[in-house]
Structure 1
Amino acid sequence: MSSSPAEPQAAYFPIRVVSNETGVNAITLRAWERRYGLITPKRTAKGHRLYTEADIHLIRKVVSLLERGIPISQAKSMLENGTPEAEPLASMPAQPSQWHQYRARLNQAVNEFDDAALASVMDEVTSFFPADITLRFLLLPLHQQLHEQMSTPLGGARFAFFAGFLEGRLTSRLAEAPEGQTKGTLVLANTTQEDALELLLLGIMLRPLGVRILRLGGLVPPADISAMVNELTLQGAIIRITGHPNDQQLQQLQNLAAETGQLIFAIGHNQDQTDLLRRKGIVTLSGDLQQDALTVRDVLTGIQT
């Protein structure tokens, strides 16, 4: 499926802008073009892709269908056949979306501590959807749901079970080389005793954006992160910190930023700590993992260019 012919004065947008506008990363956009012929962007003399407003509108239609759990191949057929685009989730009828069904199956597997059922559902989902879409519409919502249920009987155990399963599944993916041109290498480390699954998920979302991740397991002191960044001449680190760092922790973070002279991104802090952390030389992230991945990519690109 190609985009509608553009007017001579139509505006064109590079893939980076389209990715930011639609929430679909560049690797996925290129895959949709190659594998499904979903969109045929124009090319510059150097081969760079350029998209029109009509392309962006079409991509948003596809995302709307994906939100309902419709695989990309089926979404393409629906759009080609003129099927009305999906309604927003808030206005959908009572029939659950495919994502809701997948989430219900995963939730049942977690409730029963059934790792085989978890693996079966995950294998099915990842055969139809790319990793960033699966994270956005399935894994992150379920992770949040389980986190909110931690105070219920066995809630903490179920959350830990799901987090452990995901950690095992995703860690091997993190070790794979990033797709496309590498924009930099970052250490991924947890400096707290708290759950680090969101940190791992952020690392996974950075891989298709061309960022190489070196993940350190367990609790890692900032001094060790500093030594690793300096020894390997890396571009920096993404660290999980506590919500309200005390004076000693703040000093350690300031030392980490000063000793490396590189980018130190942080998640896990409360938003009222943002200004203080920035004054310590820390690049604060919002907690919206989709946006945070784009922020890390953009900051790395800006530093290198």
Structure 2
Amino acid sequence: MAYYSIGDVAERCGINPVTLRAWQRRYGLLKPQRSEGGHRQFDEEDIQRIEEIKRWMKNGVPVGKVKALLEGKKITSDDSWTSLQEEMMGILRQVRPARLRATLATLGRDYPVDDLIDRVFVPVRQRLCLEQNTARVMSSLLDGALINFAVLSLAESLKKAGKEALLIGWDTEDRTRLWLEAWRLSQQGWHIDVLAEPLDSPRPEMFPGQHIFVWAGPEMSPRQKEQLDHWQEQGYTMYSHTA
């Protein structure tokens, strides 16, 4: 029987090793074997279980309730993503930075990065854009905490093997989302440096020989796609990064 290290499984399943450890230690979702040296060893059955966990969570099941479902038990139906959004909104309304930082750290351990960004952070930021009164303070508090969390995560990713790349915002003013996307890329095996100020037009000739990701929002415009194709034809290693 083939066994895989936690690093191999993390790369194969698209899950941070920290999250896999949290699923094992905090929630009892995984029971990997141990090598003689004490390292975790996963087999194909473990990998199938991880994929099943991911499916339940994408359907809105809280991580704390997944174990019961894996064991064939019934649970009360609710929307995990909505409840997490409401939890964050409550913390923001109370203007409690320390609790917000602690919540982000816990969520970052327990949930895959794609789900957190797309199903929690982005929806909460969108809600804050629609609210009045203290929404500006709440939005500023959240953005500061998210950028701080993303920066810490980028630094942590440098401890692992990875490929160097630069992330550039292209004709977008959403700097917070730029850092969130840098975090997302860092969980895909990249060592990301961020050009903190978005540009009206990237200039790849200034970064010869480097891998470059450009973030232009959820979707690139036809003009941007045409320009990116032109740069790629010129031999620049550039990619469009979309969520």
TM more than 0.5: yes
Query: Structure 2: which amino acid aligns with 1:169?
Result: F
- Residue in structure 1 matched with residue 170 of structure 2 by the alignment: 191
Is the counterpart of residue 110 in structure 1 residue 104 in structure 2?
Answer: no
Alignment map for 1:94-105 (pairs within 5 Å): 102-105=84-87
User: Aligned pair 1:167/2:159, yes or no?
Assistant: no
The corresponding residue for 2:76 is 93
Q: CA deviation at 1:187?
A: 0.7
Contact 2:19–2:109, Cα closer than 8 Å, also in 1? no
1:120 aligns with 2:120: no
What TM-score does the superposition give when structure 1 sets the normalisation length? 0.56
Q: CA deviation at 1:163?
A: 2.6
The partner residue of 1:180 within 156, 160, 167 is 160
**Who is 2:238 aligned against?**
263
Whole-angstrom distance in 2 between the partners of 1:107 and 1:215: 28
User: Taking structure 1 as reference, are residues 203 and 239 closer, same or farther at Cα in structure 2, changes over 3 Å only?
Assistant: same
Give the Cα–Cα distance (whole angstroms) in 1 for the partners of residues 152 and 206 of structure 2. Answer: 21
- Paired AA for residue 167 in structure 2: L
- The one-letter code matched in structure 1 to 2:161 is Q
Name the structure 2 match of 1:240: 215
Give SS of 2:212's match.
Answer: strand
C-alpha separation in 2, matches of 1:244 and 1:124: 32
Residues 60-113 of structure 1 show CA distances to partners (whole Å, capped at 9, x for unaligned) of 465558952439xxx8xxx6xxx663789xx8525776x76554332123345x
Structure 2 distance, partners of 1:170, 1:211, is 14
- Tell me which moved more, 154-163 or 212-221: 154-163
Aligned-pair distance for 1:167?
A: 1.4
Partner of 2:33: 40
CA change 1:40–1:111 in 2 (3 A) is same
Kindly indicate whether residue 44 of structure 2 is the aligned counterpart of residue 59 of structure 1: no
Distance 1:121 1:241, change over 3 A: closer
SS of equivalent to 1:264:
strand
CA-based RMSD of the aligned residues comes to: 4.6
**Residue 174 of structure 1: CA displacement?**
2.0
Q: Deviations over 1:178-227 (max 9, x none)?
A: 24322x11111111234243432232133344311010112224443x13
Unaligned runs of 5+ in 1: 1-5, 268-286, 288-305
Q: Which runs of 5+ in 2 are unaligned?
A: none
* Counterpart code for 1:106: M
- Cα distance, 1:32 vs. partner? 6.9
Measured in 1, the distance between the counterparts of 2:8 and 2:63 equals 25
Secondary structure of the corresponding residue to residue 49 of structure 2: helix
- Post-superposition shift, 1:254? 3.7
Q: Distance in 2 between matches of 1:252 and 1:176?
A: 34
Larger Rg: 1
Query: Within 1, Cα distance between the matches of 2:125 and 2:104?
Result: 22
Deviation, structure 1 residue 238:
1.5
